[in-house]
Amino acid sequence: MEQKMLYVDLSKGEVHSRPIPAEWVRDFIGGEGVAMRLLWDLIVPDADGTDPRQPLIFATGLSSELGWAGFLL
């Protein structure tokens, strides 16, 4: 099954999806790993964290479906 990312550009009012590259899924574990790889590509190094050019990424991790995310058993 092809996994996709949803891109939302609020300044332009545009929404589109792109497939997650297969090598990202293979090389990075779970949604958090893929999100970190995406952040690496999209971050603007010379801008501060509140700059509107910086990405805001929402992603789920490995334990999001288990109902105990954030807790160690």
List, for residues 3-57, the tens digit of each pLDDT value: 888 999 888 999 999 998 889 888 988 788 888 999 999 999 999 989 988 999 8
- pLDDT (mean) for 66-71: 54
User: Could you give phi then psi for residue 16, rounded to 5 degrees?
Assistant: -155, 160
List the beta bridge partners of residue 18: 5
> Would you state the structure tokens that stand for residue 50, as one six-digit string?
């509140």
**To which residue do tokens 């090389």 refer?**
27
pLDDT given for residue 65 in this prediction: 60
pLDDT given for residue 26 in this prediction: 85
List the beta bridge partners of residue 19: 4
| 73 pLDDT higher than 50 | no
